[in-house]
Amino acid sequence: MQSPIDIPSSLVEKMADGGAIQLDYSRKISEAKNNGHSIQVTDSGTATINHRRFALTQFHFHAQSEHTIDGKYYPLEAHFVNQAQDGRLAVIGVFFTEGAENKGFQEVLEDVSDGKKTEIIDIESVFPENKSYYHYLGSLTTPPLTENVEWYILKTPVDVSKKQIEMFEEYYAHNNRNSQSLNDRVILEHDE
């Protein structure tokens, strides 16, 4: 039950219940740092997933993406790590594709480069408006690789510029874990 995985769209099953995601993340970050594995931002706020509340602990980025869709990689993938009161983890994955500059991602890059803890005014810009997603049970993708993690991979990618991708790759060009075997796990999808 390890992550990441390739998501073969032909094998995905529709979710039977609701499953909507609502995000209320803080713009006030407590730390943005290069932690040796990625650019990691310590933040707070809540994610409500299918009527269950999780607290955001941190988010970080991988280049290129860790998850793939039908074998396709994206230049970047963000992981928003959320934890419930009972300790259960839910990670929301967001793909980034080359396009227009992303203001929120730019603010993260600037915070890491200058060491300041300024607000991310445009935190909404690192999420697509459409929160349709793929869902499966997997693991953390960095040590200790803990299993029984709920994954929610948003289907719609968000734009970042070629320059921003290159700026991130100055820190990390290949900090993505290889794809892991699906091993009979079910992948569900929820469409808004």
The residues annotated as belonging to the active site are: 37
Q: Which position has the token pair 């960095």?
A: 142
Determine if residue 147 is left, alpha or beta; phi over 0 gives left, psi from -120 to 50 gives alpha, anything else beta.
Answer: beta
Within 8 A by CB and 6+ apart from 148, the residues are 1, 88, 89, 137, 139
For the purposes of burial, counting CB atoms within 10 Å of the CB of 165, is it exposed (0-12), middle (13-18) or buried (19 or more)? middle
Pair 113, 90: CB distance under 8 Å: no
Specify which residues 90 forms β-bridges with.
Answer: 82, 150
Within 8 A by CB and 6+ apart from 37, the residues are 60, 142, 175
Within 8 A by CB and 6+ apart from 144, the residues are none
Within 8 A by CB and 6+ apart from 177, the residues are 3, 4, 62, 66, 141, 142
